[in-house]
Amino acid sequence: MARRFLNPAILIEVSGLLGRGKHHFKLGIGGTPHIATSLNFNAETSELEDKLVFSSLIPLRIGYRYQKPEGGFFFRVGYTPFSKFL
């Protein structure tokens, strides 16, 4: 029977806009600590073992934002690569 696990995570990020007028460049970095499950094979006992593993994802945010200073419609596009950190 398959077991299900809840893996809670909380995103922590700092980001900011650079630029004046209508054009802005957005940069950000963060961390997402979470608890994950890992299924390992124990060669000595020939059994599968469940382990809880603390891990973290590190997202980067790079983007462009177009918005008039007086507000209203805005357009933004971005890229968010991330790496896993154990």
Tokens found for residue 18? 């650079």
- Classify residue 2: in a domain, yes or no: no
The pLDDT of residue 65 is: 92
- Classify residue 48: in a domain, yes or no: yes
Compute CA 56 distance to the chain's CA centroid, rounded to the nearest angstrom. Answer: 9
- Classify residue 80: in a domain, yes or no: yes
Number of domains in the chain: 1
- Classify residue 30: in a domain, yes or no: yes
The pLDDT of residue 4 is: 61
Rounded Cα distance between 6 and 62, Å, is 30
- Classify residue 5: in a domain, yes or no: no
The answer to whether residue 75 scores a pLDDT higher than 90 is yes
Tens of pLDDT, residue by residue over 39-67, are 778 788 888 877 777 878 888 999 999 98
- Classify residue 3: in a domain, yes or no: no
Domain assignment of residue 63, given as a range: 12-85
Tens of pLDDT, residue by residue over 22-44, are 999 999 999 888 877 777 787 88
- Classify residue 64: in a domain, yes or no: yes
The answer to whether residue 14 scores a pLDDT higher than 60 is yes
